[in-house]
Amino acid sequence: MPEVKSGRWFIEFYSPYEAHMHGVRKYLVTEETNFQFAEILITQEYGKTLILDGRTQSTEVDEFIYHEALVQPAMISHPSPQQVLIIGGAEGATLREVLRHRTVKEAVMVDIDHKVVELCKKYLPEWHHGAFDDSRVKVFYLDGRKYLSESPQLFDVIIMDITEPVEHGPSYLLYTREFYQIVRDHLTENGIIAVQAGSTSMRFLYLHSVIYRTLTTVFPVVKTFQAFVPSFDLPWGFALACKNEKLDPGRLTEKEVERRLQERGVAGLRFYDGCLHNGLFKLPKNLREALTQQLDIIEDDKPVFAVV
């Protein structure tokens, strides 16, 4: 039996009846920004941890799982990603993953919260590895939807690395059908959007499946997959949607994935490779059924919020 000591805990309630407790070693940052409540702390088991509005975003020990899962399947599914847009992505780790591909000529990151990005730059070098200093990078501190609506630029890959949709929060209008239409109009012909799509654990499937369903109203090909993120104590869902109906991330062979990784000089991955990609879209039966049975759609005037 573990010997539990008096002390500091971060308790994350997922519902009135479910919570996870993380023992905390040290608190580094507690800051109210213009948009959210930001904390950086060091937990006993996961090291440095970024928390926004009370929800764990990523941790030193396992952020590689979340960020590789969010970025690599989308980047690899595109034949040659050159212009990439990240909406959100404060930690800089999504940027880091994008920049691994030497096809990339420009990576634009648009995050609404300047302060949080500053904190991540300063406190989370283990995440960004200096990515912000790469000459291919441009960072804007703006609302992602406003930026995209007004931008004349087209992108090969657009990555939605944003917080969950929460009432009065900064991101719930980045999950709607209307927003995805704006995305579609800013993708190149073979363009792909990658979306963090909520937990795939049973009790959260509504949000995950309604994001899926909403994407299907705008894109001809939509695929979802999941990766277990230890510090969340939850499997997390991701969605890929393609403008070109002939592209299907699920059809790439293990070999082709490995070929593209090598060709583009992608090195240092710890979670993702051809073998994983090959099984990624083979979801459990109950999860596939939840997706196909979902009929609701998220719209600007019918937003959907994470359960808590």
- Contact positions vs its own copies (CB under 8 A): 1-27, 30, 39, 43-45, 54-55, 61-62, 65, 200-203, 226-228, 230, 233-235, 269-273, 275-286, 288, 308
Q: Pick between residue 155 and residue 172 the one whose CB is nearest to its own copies.
A: 172
Q: What angle do CA 307, 280, 226 make, to 5 degrees?
A: 15
CA–CA distance, 59 with 91 (Å, rounded to integer): 10
Q: Pick between residue 10 and residue 206 the one whose CB is nearest to its own copies.
A: 10
Catalytic, 156? Answer no
CA–CA distance, 61 with 45 (Å, rounded to integer): 8
Q: Pick between residue 218 and residue 276 the one whose CB is nearest to its own copies.
A: 276
Min CB(187)–its own copies separation in Å: 27
Q: What is the DSSP string of 242-280?
A: ESSTT--GGG--HHHHHHHHHHTT----SS--HHHHHHH
Assigned token pair, 7: 């002390």
Min CB(153)–its own copies separation in Å: 34
Q: Pick between residue 140 and residue 228 the one whose CB is nearest to its own copies.
A: 228
Min CB(94)–its own copies separation in Å: 18
Min CB(297)–its own copies separation in Å: 25
Min CB(258)–its own copies separation in Å: 11
Q: Pick between residue 213 and residue 277 the one whose CB is nearest to its own copies.
A: 277
CA torsion sign for 92, 205, 194, 165 is negative
Q: Pick between residue 61 and residue 297 the one whose CB is nearest to its own copies.
A: 61
Q: Select which of 161, 185, 273, 301 is catalytic.
A: 161
Picking from 111, 84, 114, the residue whose alpha carbon sits closest to that of residue 96 is 84
Min CB(210)–its own copies separation in Å: 19
Give all strands of the β-sheet with 155-161 in edge-to-edge order: 137-140, 106-110, 83-88, 155-161, 187-199, 234-242, 221-229
Output b/e per residue, 173-197; b: 16+ Cβ within 10 A.
bbbbbebbebbbebbbebbbbbbbb
The residue to which tokens 């975003």 are assigned: 57
Given a contact cutoff of 8 angstroms between Cβ atoms, the answer to whether 237 and 226 are in contact is: yes
CA–CA distance, 8 with 11 (Å, rounded to integer): 10
Given a contact cutoff of 8 angstroms between Cβ atoms, the answer to whether 218 and 224 are in contact is: no
Length of the chain: 308
Min CB(109)–its own copies separation in Å: 26
Q: Pick between residue 246 and residue 282 the one whose CB is nearest to its own copies.
A: 282
Residues that are catalytic = 161
